[in-house]
Amino acid sequence: MSTADTTAAGIEHGTHVSETAAHPQPSPSKGSLSTFLSTYVFSKDHKVIGLQFLFSTLLWFLVGGLLALAVRWQVAWPWSDVPVLGKLFAQQGGQMSPEFYTMLFTMHATVMIFLVIIPVLAGAFGNFLIPLMIGADDMAFPTLNMLSYWFMWPAFAAFSASFFVEGGAASSGWTSYPTLATNVNAAPGSGWGQTLWLVGLTFVGVSSMLGSVNYMTTIILMRAPGMTMFRLPMTIWAMFITAVLQAFALPVLTAAGFMQLFDRTLGTGFFTPEGNIVNNAVATAGGGQPLLWQHLFWFYSHPAVYIMILPAMGMVSDILTCFARKPLFGYRPMVYSVAGIAGLGFIVWGHHMFMSGMNPALGVTFMVSTMMIALPSAVKTFNWLGTIWGGKIQFTTSMLFALSFVSMFIIGGLSGIFMAATPVDIFIHDTYFIVAHFHYVLFAGTAMGVWAAIYFWFPKMFGRTMNEFWGKVHFFLTFIFLNGTFFTMHILGAVGFPRRLADAYHYETFHHLQPLNAFMTYCAIGMVATQIIFAVNFFWSMFFGPVAGRNPWNANTLEWTAPSPPGHGNFDYQPVVYRGPYEYSVPGVEQDHLMQTDPPHPAAAAAAAAAH
Amino acid sequence: MKRLSALFWSLLFLAVPVLGVATFAVAPAYDIWLPKDVSEHGPAVDGLFYFILWLTGAVFIATEGVLFWFIWKYDESKSNGGVKYVHGSHTLEVVWTIIPAAVLLFISIYQMNTWADVKMRRPDMAPTVEVIGRQFEWRLRYPGKDGMLGTPDDLHLVNDLHLPIDEDVLIQLKSMDVLHSFFLPNVRIKQDAVPGMKIPVWFKAREEGVFDIVCAELCGWGHYKMKGRVTFETRESFDRWLEQKYAEQEATQPADSESAAVAKLSPASLLARR
Ligand code: HEM
Ligand SMILES: [Cu+2]
Ligand SMILES: [Cu+2]
């Protein structure tokens, strides 16, 4: 087993560790504005950049959450006055217009996916954790790293500005299907709003690409002596494979985005068919195919849904082992299943297009590959269960969030099977069943995983721990409200209740569903309100939380050998790795954990040999 | 105290499968469930839905149950011996890879026939009607007396679709402007309408009745109100209705001004004629 105790043999695999002197700390004696700027604003230190990403994504999370509440308000009580937000966008006396509704759900998804989930995983945690967990002093390319953060702001500016341009924000969904998105006459938001959306998307793409190159290089080249690939914690494996996914999938989206931009501004017709007439205006260009966009978009965006969960899976794996005080069950199968998900992830994009008019025979092949991608997900779930089996569970807030990740991911994975079954998808495609599915994987999965990670690594970030009592209150309420909001979406979907409708109650089929939707909106409001507890706890603990030592959770991985918070260059001595990251409760060892850097232990070597 | 908190948290995780199953169990009583189905292929689709529901339901209860049990049993304040120092099990990995793989493969193959029936085995017949999505209405075109679409005697209607029961109907689905999706919840049919494509949609209705036509693909600000109605009726009453509508159209458009009327009929019919 790779986790076995070895000595010198492993060290030889270790690779070059760059000199700390390569980017010296700005000397405080200057005390000038430029020092402040280079330390806290245009910092090249991966930890500062990681925290910048964290604070920014939490802010955008709030924006996305408020947009979601406005969407939910309309779905529950169509055409009634929207409190607070209605005043802000004073239209028709506080009542929401249908076009504004389409902008709301478009921008909700856009913000959540491109400004929150993707950057919080790769940008915040990838940045903060990768060098620390592999024993490097920083990222391979600190300047690119800094740029990857600063490219997020133009994106945010473009998305925000789009609400104030003529016609308003983009309104063709986060999927931006042509010809609704490409034809300026098709919707109010298909004017400047859509152009700004594409510009914003391009900036996000540049940011992701810069990050991805950096993460791959850093993980391959800058591991500490002894840190072989198969001694990497799952968090790092997941970040690595996510970076590979980004690198291969993103160029396709970027190219497609430019094609759509050209269709809109230069009169090319990549996605516009001959003789397209929108709003009584005949399109000037033709000869294109609307389905081409869908293929290109999903070729990126299906892998992207894994970009949005693999890092969370990795972090949850590490947190589960730490608080179950037990080695990870099936380390290699876990690594292979992440790789399997990534590989299969490139050949399933067509499952978003079963009803699109794509050749139904092609749909069959996508159906089979999609069914198969449920397999590595199942393997991961079983291994998580195996990990806590026979452990010694500590109910920290972080552990509760990690356990709920497993519990909720089961639901999201199983609902995927319904939609992968093409005949069933005929009925549930574009209904709330899909909305339930992706909120279970993205909110109940990834967001809960992110909270687990925040509570877990907070001491490393700020040197203090968060309040456990309020953490648990936060967990409990979030857990209840999220299930109240999202579980019920499955049965709405079973009625065929369509997504993206400003008001569906005039349909005979759906007119009786308003009370259920009202219930869901109450839960959603509760869920957002609960985050106040989190915000207060977060900021209060930053300054007044109990001071944490280097290793408050008695965890094994390298970041816990560094000071909390680590200084510039991270480690006060060169970490050397002797074993895998999951040596908890090794028989014969007094402590219940053996850190990756602890010198070889005779009892551990014996236990490892016995385990073979 | 610690024991109590372990109990509390494990019960919270137990609530997931309990309330989850309960939600699905009571939903049909409140009519929050699959709507009535009047199609010939519908039972196969619904059957597959139920099959997957039972299967995933069993997996759901089993995995969530195990999760609850482990959380309950292995909490730290319970002194049930030491921690099991294991790194995995080759046998278990093989077992829990092979079994789900076999099940998933089975579902894949099992469903193919239904999919082929609904989307691939198109009946060999002329279109019964052409449906054209347009912001934000469903334009309908029935072939006139000559039985052919695209001739001057076509019957043009909006949102009011009538179809005969107990026989195959073939719809030619088009879109004039943006994507739409032709969704008949009670017939278990959904198909996007794509500008530039003619997509065939077919089914056989078994029962008379009037049902919703829903647009299920975002098509602009008025997407929510892009609603039509479909009336399923016997062949005789369908023919009678067609006759009557045809007469109404003749009355408003005298035959000699036919071409002028068509030109006036806005781009929809223009496009249809191409
Ligand atoms: C067990 C594995 C999974 C399977 C079999 C699966 C299957 C599917 C299918 C077939 C669809 C298309 C449904 C439709 O539009 O009719 C879909 C949609 C979606 N899935 Fe999954 N999925 C799985 C896991 C995930 C994961 C892990 C994520 C994200 C972390 C995810 C995120 C999404 C999203 C965001 C959509 C909807 C996109 C949209 O239309 O806006 N899925 N999934
Ligand atoms: Cu997908
Ligand atoms: Cu529509």
pLDDT at residue A24 is higher than 50: no
**Residue A162's pLDDT band (cuts 50, 70, 90):** very high
What's the rounded mean pLDDT across residues B21-38?
Answer: 97
Is there a contact between A179 and A290 (Cβ–Cβ < 8 Å)? yes
For ligand 1, whether the C-beta of A118 sits within 6 Å is no
Tell me, what's the pLDDT at A55?
Answer: 97
Find the Cα–Cα–Cα–Cα dihedral A150, A442, A481, A321, rounded to 10°.
Answer: -100
> How is domain A36-598 classified at the architecture level of CATH?
Up-down Bundle (1.20)
pLDDT-above-70 percentage for chain A: 93
Determine whether A502 is exposed, middle or buried from the number of CB atoms within 10 Å of its CB (0-12, 13-18, 19+): buried
Closest among A555, A406, A333 to B87, alpha carbons compared: A333
β partners of residue B183: B190, B214
Average pLDDT over residues A80-108: 82
Q: Do B67 and A385 touch (CB under 8 A)?
A: yes
A391 and chain B in contact, CB less than 8 A: yes
- Are A271 and A178 in contact, with CB atoms under 8 Å apart? yes
Q: What is the mean pLDDT of residues A106-127?
A: 97
Question: Taking Cα atoms as reference points, which of A186, A115, A197, A127 lies closest to residue A152?
Answer: A115
Question: What pLDDT, on the 0 to 100 scale, is given for residue A255?
Answer: 97
What span, in angstroms and rounded, lies between the C-alpha atoms of A102 and A81? 17
A305 lines ligand 1 (CB under 6 A): yes
Give how far A225 is from chain B: nearest CA, Å: 24
**Which mutation among A308, A437, A489, A490 tests ligand 1's pocket best, with the greatest number of atoms within 8 A of CB?**
A437
In this prediction, residue B252 has a pLDDT band, given cuts at 50, 70 and 90, of: confident
Q: State if residue A598 touches ligand 1 by the CB under 6 angstroms criterion.
A: no
The residue type at A439: H
What interface predicted TM-score (ipTM) does this complex get? Answer: 0.92
Give CA–CA dist A434/A109, Å, rounded.
Answer: 14
Tokens describing residue A484: 């109240």
Domains of chain B, first to last = 2-76+93-118 (no CATH), 129-252 (2.60.40.420)
> Average of pLDDT values for A298-320?
97
Cβ pair A395:B75 closer than 8 A:
yes
Chain A residues with CB-CB distance to B75 below 8 A:
392-393, 395
For residue A123, is pLDDT > 50? yes
Q: Which of B183, B185, B221 sits opposite A187 (nearest CB)?
A: B221
Q: How far apart are CA A443 and CA A437, in angstroms?
A: 10
Contact B24 A490 (CB under 8 A): yes
Residue-level pLDDT at B216: 97
Distances A318 to A305, A596, B194 between C-alpha atoms, Å: 21, 13, 46
CB contact under 8 A, A290 and B44: no
- pLDDT at residue number A11: 40
Cβ of A353 less than 6 Å from ligand 1: no
Residue B4 confidence (pLDDT) above 90: no
- CB of B25 within 8 Å of any CB in chain A? no
Distance CA A181, CA A192 (A): 11
Integer Cα distance of A221 and B245 in angstroms: 76
- Residues B142 and B12: their CA atoms lie apart, in Å, by 58
Residue located nearest, by CA, to atom 20 of ligand 1: A438
Tokens of A485: 């909001």
DSSP assignment letter at A122: I
Residues of B within 8 A of A279 (CB-CB) are: 135, 177
Is residue B51 within 8 A of residue A552, CB to CB? The reply is no
CB A148, CB A210: distance < 8 Å? yes
Cβ distance of A427 and B190 shorter than 8 Å: yes
Residue of B nearest to A584 (CA): B85
* Ligand 2 geometric centre to CA of A333 (Å): 23
Bridge partners of B157, per DSSP, are B140
Nearest CA in chain B to A499: B216
Check pocket membership of A416 for ligand 1, CB cut-off 6 A.
yes
CB-based burial, B218-241: b 16+ in 10 Å, e otherwise: bbbbbbbbbbbebebbeeeebeee
Q: Write down the domain spans for chain A.
A: 36-598
Sort out which chain B residues have CB atoms less than 8 A from A177's CB and list them: 179, 217-218
| The pLDDT of residue A213 is above 50 | yes
d(C-alpha B25, C-alpha B33), whole Å: 10
Whether the predicted pLDDT of A501 surpasses 80? yes
Biggest CA pair distance of chain B = 96
Q: Is the pLDDT at A195 greater than 90, yes or no?
A: yes
